[in-house]
Structure 1
Amino acid sequence: MNARAAKPVGTVTRGTTNPNRLRRMDRWIAATHGAELRRADDPVAVDLGYGAAPWTAVELLQRLRTAAPRARVVGVEIDPARVAAAKPYERDGLRFRHGGFEIPLPERPSLIRAANVLRQYEEAELAAVWARLCARLAPAGAGTRGGLLVEGTCDEIGRRHVWIALGPEGPRTVTFATRLGSLDRPSDLAERLPKALIHRNVPGEPVHAFLHDFDRAWASAAPYASYGARQRWIRAVRDLAANWPVVDGVARWRQGEVTVRWDALAPRA
């Protein structure tokens, strides 16, 4: 079946968006997935559910091209009125299409970013959505891990994010990212957990234990606060990494990030 003719899959989101809202996620993608985009023959990225205005798609193109100059971005929206409103912003490397989780493109993208899209769905619906999106990613092969799905949630002005990165094989990592000056304790990020984890922040679940340990490491790192919130965060993450599979290093921690393997935080059951 021609993907362009397929009926869009999904429901219309609230459409809330703001300039620079997704800057932390974009910078992480450029830093960690940029090499894959450069290796791709045709590095296509999808901004899925970009909302009532096209700012996040415009910004995604700008940020990806710092890492992969040939990158193209396609904004995909299930609301046709939003697509029509975005059309005047099309330019070289940027297009907008009507569609949903089926991803109405002939090619399989190197990146799908779905930010603040799945929070409105039921947890029981999530596995099917993930499977559908991962199946649309560029496949793994010789010298490539394949495309990347980045699915997560942030606040309205982009100070606090949590996102899950998935490859064609499924979930890989969870990243917590914040503007450090806005943070009282790491568990403040719990309110931005993606749908897969938001209801699992309860005793007995791994994500709850992780945030509890992160708060404890943050408290232990209080003496470093005199050097600034960044140094306190770095120290806390270094301590956290003694017991949790942190997969990044100081260069990312300095940005107010920490990335952990998915299997360490995945829900029980």
Structure 2
Amino acid sequence: MAGARGNKQPVGTITRGTTNPNRLRRVDRWTVHTYGPLLRAAAPSPVVVDLGYGAHPVTTLELRDRLAVVRPDVVVVGLEIDEERVRAAQPHADPPGLSFARGGFEIPLHGLPAPLLVRAFNVLRQYDEGQVAQAWSRIVGRLAPGGALVEGTCNEVGRLGSWVDVRAVDGQPQPRSLTLSWRLRDIEAPSVVAERLPKALIHRNVPGERVHELMVALDTAWSRAAGHAPYGARQRFLATVEDLIGQGWPMLGNRQRWRLGELEVAWAAVAPRP
């Protein structure tokens, strides 16, 4: 991970930058649901950062529009290490609610309040697993009290992905949950999501690790729910989730979220083993 020289150079590495409209729709939908109450209760003009938005700022614009439904005065800042990407995004800026700046994990906000939320998607995939904790710590250290980091990855069209909800507890990162997301009619086996696990877990999908146990349990429950297939993938998935709950997996969320193809599990159930 690149360091900052005299606090002038952004901390991090330039990403590939690939993006597509609606690629992050699923995580945005979850963010609005999960953090809507926090945004509504925040002080005026809460700040949300989209870290590493890529070669085009379309997903940052979409984030601002989706959050504005629950908090019209939200301030969204898109940060990129690549100066050219920042310049290219400026025509899309809409002060004071939407701006773009150069920056990385140090989250420079140039006089704005500390961010309530940071979304970092498809950013850490290119890093080593051992660098994840450092990145989380650096970002969480910049959050407002009670703030959170949403960090994860998805495929190119956003139909398959996962993310970690990382809360700030006494200035330190405390992962709360892992969310897995599928477009249900595309599922052949739920474990396909393993190829899009966050960096903290993607190399842990091996026997002996908790996340691997979850992948096996998902596929097994999905197979047992085959009798629901004639009623559609959604009914089969709901039966799969109920099976997992019956086995003792600590599922969060509710039936409404599961119907959308979201499965949120407590972090302790999937956390890497030492």
1:108 CA displacement: 1.2
| In 2: Cα distance, 1:69 partner to 1:137 partner | 21
Partner of 1:173: 177
Question: Do 1:31 and 1:67's aligned partners in 2 also have CA atoms closer than 8 Å?
Answer: no
Partner of 1:205: 209
1:89 CA displacement: 0.1
Of residues 113, 117, 124, the one that matches 2:119 is: 113
Of residues 48, 51, 57, the one that matches 2:51 is: 48
2:269 matches 1:264:
yes
| In 1: Cα distance, 2:187 partner to 2:70 partner | 29
1:7 CA displacement: 2.5
For structure 1, which runs of at least 5 residues remain unmatched after alignment?
A: 140-145
| In 2: Cα distance, 1:207 partner to 1:123 partner | 15
| In 2: Cα distance, 1:66 partner to 1:250 partner | 23
1:71 CA displacement: 1.4
Q: Amino acid of the residue matched to residue 161 of structure 1?
A: G
| In 1: Cα distance, 2:227 partner to 2:46 partner | 45
Residues 42-101 of structure 1, C-alpha deviations (whole Å, 9 max, x = no match): 311100000000001000001111222221210000001000000000114110010000
2:228 matches 1:224:
yes
Partner of 1:251: 256
Equivalent positions of 1:1-269 (< 5 A) are 6-41=8-43, 42-92=45-95, 93-105=97-109, 106=111, 107-139=113-145, 146-169=146-169, 170-242=174-246, 243-269=248-274
Residues 154-213 of structure 1, C-alpha deviations (whole Å, 9 max, x = no match): 000001011001010211100001111111111010000010000000000000001100
Q: TM-score, normalised by structure 2?
A: 0.93
| In 1: Cα distance, 2:223 partner to 2:143 partner | 41
Question: Do 1:50 and 1:76's aligned partners in 2 also have CA atoms closer than 8 Å?
Answer: yes
| In 1: Cα distance, 2:77 partner to 2:195 partner | 29
| In 2: Cα distance, 1:166 partner to 1:252 partner | 19
Q: TM-score, normalised by structure 1?
A: 0.94
| In 1: Cα distance, 2:190 partner to 2:222 partner | 7
* Worse overlay, 114-123 or 69-78: 69-78
1:229 CA displacement: 0.5
Aligned residues: 260
Q: Amino acid of the residue matched to residue 215 of structure 2?
A: L
| In 1: Cα distance, 2:238 partner to 2:116 partner | 31
Q: Structure 1 vs Structure 2: percent identity of aligned residues? A: 56
| In 2: Cα distance, 1:220 partner to 1:136 partner | 45
| In 2: Cα distance, 1:97 partner to 1:46 partner | 10
Structure 1 moving runs of 4+ over 4 Å:
none
Q: Amino acid of the residue matched to residue 194 of structure 2?
A: A
1:227 CA displacement: 1.0
1:37 CA displacement: 0.7
Partner of 1:143: none
1:226 CA displacement: 1.0
Distance 1:228 1:128, change over 3 A: same
For structure 2, which runs of at least 5 residues remain unmatched after alignment?
A: 1-6
Which secondary structure state, in structure 2, belongs to the residue aligned with residue 138 of structure 1?
A: coil
State the superposition RMSD in angstroms: 1.2
